[in-house]
Chains A and B, each alone.
Chain A
Amino acid sequence: MALTTRVARIPALRRADSPRAKADLIAVTAGCVCVALLAVAILAPLIVPYQPDAIDASAINQGPSAAHLLGTDSLGRDILSRVLYGARLSLLGPALVTVLSTTLGTAVAIAGTWIGGAFDRVMARFMDTLFAFPGLLFAVLAVVAFGTGLTAPVIALSIAYTPYIARVIRAASLHQRQLPYIEACQLLGFSSWRTATHHLLRNVRLLIVAQATLAFGYSLLDLAGLSFIGLGVQPPAAEWGLMVSEGDSALLNGYPYESLAAGAAIVITVVAFNVLGERLTARSQGRQ
């Protein structure tokens, strides 16, 4: 057992190892899907066949056809165009949550391992309180306080996701702190700031990226759910969670295309980000 683990660490042998290579192929595919989705979001105005808010009273609730590849919704808007355009709002929210919560979580975790003592205890109490709120409830409360839209839920979810990220990074950085290189940095007279940002942070960066990727998928689910129940992004904006909800009445009449298309977009995105995040987590743990 010990020998096989040691052998598996040699890069050349690892590449020849077929399950690992297959898993990496999956990770690369997931990564490509993620990049493609971001590209769609950025390039949406250039690639949509119709304007996403162009109403066509003569083509209401149509099934897929040559003119409308995914059909039209209850206002005659082209579903494909709306799904592509919807990538912008649907991915913008999770991207913001990811950046904010990862930054906050990493800062809290590393500060906690460095300062320790009372700071750590206060933070732990704070995080325990946050753990008591399911992410969606926290976002709903933000809507109560600050109204519907994207801003309030994004800030609320960023705070709600912070403890989950902080917990993982904290465990890793506690482990790193007792490694000899930290002591070496201290002996060389580096400041704590420099040791933390230039050395410790570099060693846990893969784990941070992995956690961020996972947070992206989960926050997309929460934000889309919030729009679905009418407390997030408001009509007539094109957003996937909202589209699933708007397609509801057409679905009951036998035209499930809008809900299906938007739902599929959500599922594909979350699968891609989750798979990539899990592969990255596994790799970063293998490295440590």
Chain B
Amino acid sequence: MLSQARRWILSPLLTLLAASFVLYTAVWLQPGNPLTLILGTRASPAQYRYMANKLGLDRPMPVRYWDWLVAAVHGNFGTSLVYKQSVASLIGPRILTTLLLIAYASVIILVVGVALGILGGMSPRLAPVIAGLNGLGVAIPGFVAAEMLTALFAVRLGWFPVLGTGQGLAGRLQHLTLPAFALAIASISYVSQITRAAVSAEEQSPHVDTARGRGLSGPRILRRHVLRNAAMPIMTVSALTVASLLAGTLVVEYAFGLGGIGSLLDQSVSDKDSNVVLAIGLILVLVFVITTTALDVLQYLMDPRLRLKGATKWH
């Protein structure tokens, strides 16, 4: 029990702590004085000193890091230097767009990816076709998919809007369709690849032969014998893929001009808006750590063998 607590609570917390330090160091190393954003270039040195003192920029780096961390743990990410409003109020409305986009893409990935994978794993004739499509799909990055989909479905056929976020749920979903597919293409192929491998490995296993020998119907074998055993790798890869979509939004939101946290991060990096960069960076890392930990717990609950072995993540 103690080792589980260490693995699921202490270890992720240590990882987060280390990651937050890396984040802060990157922003601290940023060249240029953030005060020029507030004061402009004409302010006197005395004004600069006053402002640095007021914002705490004149204190040593470890102290600033600790203050930022304590505030962040309390949900206070400070003020944006560019927008002059609290970082939370900037991220709040944008994170909804990003979450909707990720949810939409996840549904596409899970439905299409797993379906294609099962098809490829069950039918030896379709397998090479689907394997080929997967090999092509994983190589199409989100931004190339974005441009291709825009050229075909928005410019040539005019089925979908080119840019923007849209109004109301229906309008939003219509605006998010192309971005969601652009975000999903590489992941569909990845999930489908793993599913195909897992399903075809189970298909050839002795227990499935036995089930066939007992005269069970094809769909029943698939549901009860193949998918149950193939579920573990499929679940693992799906969860990791969905977690990595958050990083993919950096590129896809930029391509479609969507106002989510991915495009906000791009903009803030260009603007050197450090508090926003720190907050979004921390959110991305947090989601990733939570997902991998939750996955670890879920695997442990689903597979009794792991409870006996106590394997670690690193191996």
Interface check A34, CB cutoff 8 A: no
Interface check A47, CB cutoff 8 A: no
Closest to A163 in B: B314
Choose among A137, A225, A271 the residue that contacts B142 (Cβ–Cβ < 8 A): A225
B155 touches A254 (CB 8 A): yes
B143 touches A228 (CB 8 A): yes
A231 touches B135 (CB 8 A): no
Choose among A144, A267, A275 the residue that contacts B144 (Cβ–Cβ < 8 A): A267
Interface check B88, CB cutoff 8 A: no
Interface check B119, CB cutoff 8 A: no
The proximity string for A residues 145-156 relative to B, scoring 1 for CB distances below 8 Å and 0 otherwise, is 111000000000
Choose among B151, B155, B254, B274 the residue that contacts A260 (Cβ–Cβ < 8 A): B151
A144 in contact with B15 given A136-B251, A167-B314, A248-B147 (CB within 8 Å): no
Closest to A268 in B: B139
On chain B, the residues within 8 Å of A221 by CB distance are: 139, 141
A267 touches B139 (CB 8 A): yes
Binds B, one of A10-18, A77-85, A126-134: A126-134
A263 to B148, CA, bound (A): 9
Interface check A36, CB cutoff 8 A: no
Least distance between B210 CB and chain A CB atoms (Å): 15
Could you tell me the dominant secondary structure of chain A's interface residues? helix
The proximity string for A residues 246-277 relative to B, scoring 1 for CB distances below 8 Å and 0 otherwise, is 01100110101001100100110011001100
A247 in contact with B284 given A132-B15, A145-B26, A231-B269 (CB within 8 Å): no
A129 to B19, CA, bound (A): 6
Interface check B176, CB cutoff 8 A: no
Could you tell me the dominant secondary structure of chain B's interface residues? helix
B254 touches A228 (CB 8 A): yes
On chain A, the residues within 8 Å of B244 by CB distance are: 134
Q: How many residues of A contact B (CB 8 A)?
A: 48
A271 in contact with B139 given A128-B313, A132-B19, A228-B251 (CB within 8 Å): yes
A141 touches B143 (CB 8 A): no
A125 to B315, CA, bound (A): 12
Interface check A208, CB cutoff 8 A: no
On chain B, the residues within 8 Å of A267 by CB distance are: 136, 139-140, 144
Least distance between B204 CB and chain A CB atoms (Å): 9
Interface residues of A in 215-238 (CB under 8 A from B): 217, 221, 224-225, 228-231
On chain A, the residues within 8 Å of B136 by CB distance are: 267, 271
Closest to B28 in A: A145
A229 touches B144 (CB 8 A): no
B265 touches A129 (CB 8 A): no
Interface residues of B in 146-172 (CB under 8 A from A): 147-148, 150-151, 155-156, 162
Least distance between A137 CB and chain B CB atoms (Å): 5
B315 touches A137 (CB 8 A): no
A267 to B156, CA, bound (A): 22
Least distance between A244 CB and chain B CB atoms (Å): 6
Interface check B33, CB cutoff 8 A: no
Least distance between A243 CB and chain B CB atoms (Å): 10
Closest to A22 in B: B128
Binds A, one of B52-60, B218-226, B285-293: B285-293
- For the complex with contacts A132-B16, A144-B272, 18 further pairs of A-B residues with Cβ separation under 8 Å are A124-B312, A128-B11, A128-B313, A128-B314, A129-B15, A129-B22, A133-B22, A136-B250, A141-B26, A144-B30, A144-B277, A145-B25, A224-B141, A225-B251, A229-B143, A231-B269, A274-B135, A275-B135
Residues on A lying within 8 angstroms of B by beta carbon are: 124-125, 127-129, 131-137, 140-147, 167, 171, 217, 221, 224-225, 228-231, 241, 244-245, 247-248, 251-252, 254, 256, 259-260, 263, 266-267, 270-271, 274-275
Q: What 7 pairs across the A-B complex have the smallest Cβ distances? A: A134-B247, A270-B139, A263-B144, A145-B29, A141-B26, A256-B151, A129-B18
Show 8 residue pairs from A and B whose CB-CB distance is below 8 angstroms, ordered by the A residue.
Answer: A125-B18, A146-B31, A224-B143, A252-B162, A254-B156, A256-B155, A260-B148, A271-B136
